[in-house]
């Protein structure tokens, strides 16, 4: 059985696809501009901003593949074609969460606060690894190294003045590896510039697909026509383009080199960036009662 992915060229999606490609190229330029630059002494943790940026870039590229037609060739020349809008929506949700995590950690005028949040986030990941069950000698060695990393990181977090911003209960959770204590995806999305109602509508709907809610299954069942699948997939693409624009604006502030890449972008790239950099206020009229 042969499996292939082919693009769809339709008028309703053409502008979104073009804008996606434009911002993808600009986003890549920003990441490449920062890559290889010297990191200030004692700020190696900043490199993880680049890693999250690369993660977001790859997620966006994978989403772009999913909004194209997939065709499965069966014996007897039969062909089944569809657009996997369900997986595209799940990936769009992942793009949103990657950006919000990036924003929570790295969007601050206070570098020490950023370093603290990076440490909390890193501790959470290390703690997650420690609850796994290694089955090989190599994996057990990784566990030993991970425990050593936790042992060296915890004392630094325990003496941080930023712990005073948390309650005693939250501090315990934080030092146990729960890096999302004291805030929610929606709260941080609003701080990042999303319209709160827009975000809650989109994010909750996208989560339904990731968690296999009935609504998502109902939509999959009803969207038998490829045009309907295309429409649903395009909602994921549009959400991702908006996230890419927001990321570009924030990365340009975090790294001067990234800011230079935006300054030297073409007029077309700047117009596309501006078009998708709509703010919470720009959307408020959609939710006015």
CA separation for the pair 236, 243 (Å, rounded): 11
Model pTM score? 0.90
pLDDT at 116 (0 to 100): 97
CA separation for the pair 9, 74 (Å, rounded): 24
Buried b (16+ CB within 10 A) or exposed e, 65-77: ebbbbbeeeeeee
**Three-state secondary structure of 1-70:** CEEEEECCCCHHHHHHHHHHHHHHHHHHHHHHHHCCCCCCCCCHHHHHHHHHHHHHHHHHHHHHHHCCEE
The dihedral over CA atoms of 12, 275, 219, 73, expressed in degrees to the nearest 10, equals 50
CA separation for the pair 95, 171 (Å, rounded): 28
CA 76 and chain centroid, separation:
42
Question: Hey, what are 209's tokens?
Answer: 């697909």
CA separation for the pair 9, 18 (Å, rounded): 11
pLDDT (tens, 9 = 90+) of the chain, 289 residues, equals 444 444 444 434 458 899 999 999 999 999 999 998 888 788 899 999 999 999 999 999 999 999 999 888 888 888 888 899 999 999 999 999 999 999 999 999 999 999 999 999 999 999 999 999 999 999 999 999 999 999 999 999 999 999 999 999 999 999 999 999 999 999 999 999 999 999 999 999 999 988 988 888 888 888 888 888 888 999 999 999 999 999 999 999 999 999 999 999 999 999 999 999 988 888 887 776 5
Nearest partner of 95 among 129, 135, 53, judged by Cα: 53
CA separation for the pair 195, 58 (Å, rounded): 25
Q: Supply angle C-alpha 146, 160, 130, rounded to 5.
A: 20
pLDDT at 289 (0 to 100): 59
Nearest partner of 247 among 208, 273, 212, 280, judged by Cα: 273
């Amino acid at each position: 059985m042969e499996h292939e992915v082919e693009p769809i060229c339709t008028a309703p999606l053409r502008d979104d696809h073009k804008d996606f490609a434009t911002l993808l190229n600009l986003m890549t330029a920003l990441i490449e501009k920062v890559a290889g630059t010297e990191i200030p002494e004692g700020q190696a943790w900043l490199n993880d901003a680049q890693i999250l940026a690369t993660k977001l870039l790859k997620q966006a590229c994978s989403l772009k593949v999913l909004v194209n037609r997939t065709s499965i060739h069966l014996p007897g020349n039969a062909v089944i074609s569809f657009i996997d809008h369900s997986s595209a929506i799940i990936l769009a949700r992942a793009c949103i969460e990657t950006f919000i995590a990036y924003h929570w950690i790295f969007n601050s005028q206070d570098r020490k606060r950023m370093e603290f949040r990076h440490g909390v986030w890193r501790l959470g990941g290390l703690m997650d690894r420690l609850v796994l069950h290694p089955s090989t000698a190599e994996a057990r060695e990784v566990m030993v190294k991970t425990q050593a990393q936790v042992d060296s990181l915890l004392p630094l977090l325990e003496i941080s003045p930023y712990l005073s911003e948390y309650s005693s209960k939250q501090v315990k959770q934080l030092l146990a590896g729960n890096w999302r204590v004291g805030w929610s995806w929606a709260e941080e999305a609003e701080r990042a510039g999303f319209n709160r109602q827009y975000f809650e509508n989109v994010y909750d709907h996208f989560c339904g697909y990731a968690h296999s809610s009935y609504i998502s299954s109902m939509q999959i069942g009803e969207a038998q026509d490829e045009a309907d699948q295309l429409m649903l997939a395009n909602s994921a693409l549009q959400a991702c383009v908006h996230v890419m624009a927001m990321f570009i604006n924030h990365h340009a502030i975090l790294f001067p080199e990234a800011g230079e890449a935006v300054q030297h972008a073409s007029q077309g790239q700047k117009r596309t960036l501006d078009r998708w950099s709509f703010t919470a206020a720009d959307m408020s009229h959609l939710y006015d009662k």
